[in-house]
Chains A and B, each alone.
Chain A
Amino acid sequence: MRVLILGAGISGHTAALLLRRKLKKEHEVVVLTPNAKWNWIPSNIWVGIGDMSAKDVTFDLKPIYERAGIKFIQAKATEVFPEGFEEKKNFVRAESTEEATFSKVIDVEYDFLINATGPRLNFQATPGLGPEAHTHSVCTVGHAEETSEAFKQLIEEMKLGNQKTIVIGTGHGLCTCQGAAFEYLFNLEFELRQKGVRDKARIIYLSNESELGDFGVGGIALKTGGFVTPSKTFAESLFVERNVDWITGAHVKLVESDKIHYETLDGENHTLEYSFAMLLPPFGGVPLKIYDKHGAEISSELLNPAGFMKVDADYTTKSFEEWLPDDWPKTYQTKYKNLFAIGIAFAPPHQISKPKKNKHGTVIAPAPPRTGMPSAIMGRIVANSIVHMIKSNSLDAPYTASMAELGAACVASAGANAFKGSAVAMTMYPIVPNYKIYPETGRSLVHTTGEIGTAGHWIKKLLHFAFIYKAKALPFWWIIPE
């Protein structure tokens, strides 16, 4: 049997390593990904402020896969034929991204396929957004390196006495991963203090969240000091403490070289002048076309309009009040039982935060986050299911990991220094609120926790080294949990 994995990010790489460990050598594990390097994306924010270099957060995949016994194909998947076509059984068509064979088209047959292609960074959604236009990004290590260079230049100008306006946040009303913007914001603010130029900067957080502390999960409630307190209160406290201004409920419409044009939930249009901006793009699915056995395109059956792959979720259109935890996928199996989609590649049934629309009809709604720990766990359970399916010659995926039953541990850095640095260490259970089990806040008040301090920074740093060690498949890597 051959298991083909598209993508070697957190979910795909986790699945590949676990499959190779658990399957006999007679079965083949193949990873097809356009990138030659693996990237520990959560540390890109430290590259973006110049605290780490690209080599600290990346490594070459080829030698790791050679050692692990995984076949590595450096190529970009473009088409999937889940029913086979002509003489071939199920296969994926891809274009090589390797220098020697660049653009060469190859077909790779499979018995099981995992779509873990991650996000397409949709900078085109907002004119003027992105590193090729006017704003910076930390979404890839290349972007983060460019951002770091621009940030160094900015500091030099501030040292000469120039006042700057720095805008960090989301570049569209439908963005996700606000946590990354939050981390970059507070690391940048910390660095400016370390460099002695904090007084030269006005820092503004610009977000599509309807309020601070939402993070695309509708915020969390924490039991502390005899109160159940919303994350909004803690987030506002941190912003005030660090003197960071904020704009929430914002959809960025256009970015010029010195101005950001945005509309807000109250329907007003605004313009913000800036000197330096790091704005995250909305995510889409990686462009893939799906064909049936007759060669007819069936992409719309398997992909939602944003390009994410539909799995075993309930995609019925419902109002916010009708959303249920059971809507969320459990096995990540598509209508083809040997085809799975995990990590950012699967289509969520709906948002977690309540979607909002302004009087002009512009939807401003954070998309649900599904990076990091949940992505890795999806990789783990899908690998376990495939192992079971191969061993038992069955098409039932027995392992489940619904985001309505999973928790998440998140560490959001707020300054990188072993003694003066800090991070917000949070746990949340479950990720998707369940008001039947937890009627008060939707989540467990025992297992939903958060605090800020230097210990959080140590944990963030520990996770950096532990997960890179695990991803390199070094001895006993499997002991480190996802």
Chain B
Amino acid sequence: MSITEAKNYPASRPTKSTLYLRSCLPWQVFRFIIINLKMTVMILKSHGSKKEKKL
């Protein structure tokens, strides 16, 4: 496999609004909260007491 040149590759590209939202402060504050909640769920699923079960 040789080099894939990014400029000629037919990948999906973000629209202007997607790019804007990625650094839009209010939207990112909201996403910060959502991502933290998702990660908290992941943490609880992965090392909560349920996983530390006694035989």
Residues of chain A at the chain B interface (Cβ within 8 Å): 204, 233, 236-237, 239-250, 264-266, 268, 270, 272, 373, 377, 380-381, 384, 388, 396, 398-401, 405-409, 419-420, 422, 425, 427, 429, 447, 449, 451-456, 458-459, 481-482
Contacts and interface: CB of A to CB of B under 8 A. Distances in A.
Contacts of A427: 38-39, 41-42
A406 B42 CA distance: 9
A401 B51 contact: yes
B33 to A, nearest CB: 8
Given A399-B53, A454-B23, A482-B43, 7 more contacts: A236-B11, A247-B3, A268-B2, A425-B35, A447-B41, A454-B28, A459-B36
Chain B contact residues (Cβ within 8 angstroms of A): what range? 35 or more
Given A406-B46, A427-B38, A453 B6 contact: no
14 contacts: A237-B14, A240-B7, A245-B5, A265-B1, A268-B1, A380-B47, A398-B52, A405-B46, A422-B22, A425-B39, A427-B38, A427-B39, A447-B38, A455-B28
A400 B47 contact: no
Contacts of B6: 239-240, 242-246
Interface of B: 1-7, 9, 11-14, 21-23, 25, 27-29, 31-32, 35-36, 38-39, 41-43, 45-47, 51-55
Q: Which 10 A-B pairs have the closest CB atoms?
A: A455-B32, A240-B11, A236-B11, A455-B31, A409-B39, A455-B28, A264-B1, A453-B22, A398-B54, A407-B42
Contacts of B53: 398-400
Contacts of A243: 6-7
Nearest to A481: B43
Contacts of A388: 54
